[in-house]
Amino acid sequence: MNLVLFGPPGAGKGTQAQRVCARYRLKHLSTGDAIRSAIREETKIGRLVAELVEHGELVPDDMVTGIVEEFVARNRSQTDSFLFDGYPRTLPQIEQLDSLLEAHRLTPAVVVSLEVPDDDLVRRVTGRRICSECRRVFNIHALDRQAIASCEICHGSPPLIQRKDDTVETLSERLRIYHAQTEPVLHQYEMAGKLATIDGTGDPDEVFERLCGILSEQY
């Protein structure tokens, strides 16, 4: 099975991706990670991308797809199942993914979008606190009032801290970019009858069960 997973920042896509990869034995392709590692390893495309990034220029679709393809080619002998995370991000990339899958004799991708209302995301992200000792993540909206200031698990109740990025302003900007970038892509998949959406609100275990429900319908 090949899966394309969409989800706005703060929706818990990373957690769901990890779990779905474990259950269905998918190889997780995080496009951001793949681009960074191509740059680090100085692959042919990596060098070209590094130059563009250095000049603050956008990486063209062909190059992003090239990096995705490098990843698929490198792992293809071990697996025929990938999870595409952060790709496709533009309309041309949709077609490029289809061709890439075909070229590597892989099955067409199942496309799933985790849907969480923006208000919910704001609540989740701005309520997020991290223990300064154990790095466990808490949400103050889910905690008792007395427990808000400190970690209840660590000895000595170390303080909970908020990450600099977990503010309404940062999140709003990331959501704006996500919607602007992703909506045309989702729309295209929807028009092709390929898009499955799931309710991404509530408990992560429940979200995971919904996701598995969709995937088991496909296979």
Just list the catalytic residues.
Answer: 13, 89, 128, 163, 174
| First CA to last CA distance, the chain | 8
Q: Which is nearer to Zn ion, 122 or 147 (CB)?
A: 147
Position 154 contacts Zn ion (CB under 5 A): yes
Report, in Å, the least distance between residue 137 CB and Zn ion.
10
Of the candidate residues 73, 134, 137, 177, the single one contacting Zn ion (CB under 5 A): 134
Interaction of residue 21 with Zn ion, rule CB under 5 A: no
Span from 28-36, 72-80, 123-131, 161-169 in contact with Zn ion (CB under 5 A): 123-131
Is 103 a binding residue for Zn ion by CB under 5 A? The answer is no
Is there binding between residue 151 and Zn ion (CB under 5 A)? yes
Give the whole-angstrom CA distance, residue 216 versus residue 107.
Answer: 15
- Tell whether residue 148 is a contact of Zn ion (CB under 5 A): no
The residue range among 30-38, 86-94, 134-142, 177-185 that interacts with Zn ion, by the rule CB under 5 A, is 134-142
Distance (Å, rounded) from C-alpha 28 to C-alpha 82? 6
**How far is 21 from 18, CA to CA, in rounded Å?**
5
Using the rule CB under 5 A, give the single segment among 25-33, 38-46, 106-114, 144-152 that binds Zn ion: 144-152
Please report whether residue 160 would count as binding Zn ion according to CB under 5 A. no
CB-based burial, 61-86: b 16+ in 10 Å, e otherwise: bebbbbbbbbbbeeeeeeebebbbbb
To Zn ion, the closest distance from the beta carbon of 151 in angstroms equals 3
Q: Which residues contact 101 (CB under 8 A, 6 or more apart)?
A: 2, 107, 108, 109
Alpha carbon distance 148, 166 (integer Å): 16
In the complex with Zn ion, the residue whose CB is nearer, 156 or 193, is 156
Residues 6+ positions from 72 with CB-CB distance below 8 Å: 29, 82, 100, 104, 106
Answer whether 171's CB lies under 8 Å from 122's CB: yes
Q: How near is the Cβ of 140 to Zn ion at its closest, in Å?
A: 14
Rounded least distance, CB 7 to Zn ion, Å: 27
User: What residue type is 42 in one-letter code?
Assistant: E
Q: Which stretch binds Zn ion (CB under 5 A): 44-52, 80-88, 145-153, 159-167?
A: 145-153
- Token pair belonging to 132: 């300064």
Q: Is 133 in the site for Zn ion (CB under 5 A)?
A: yes
List contacts with Zn ion (CB under 5 A).
Answer: 131, 133-134, 151, 153-154
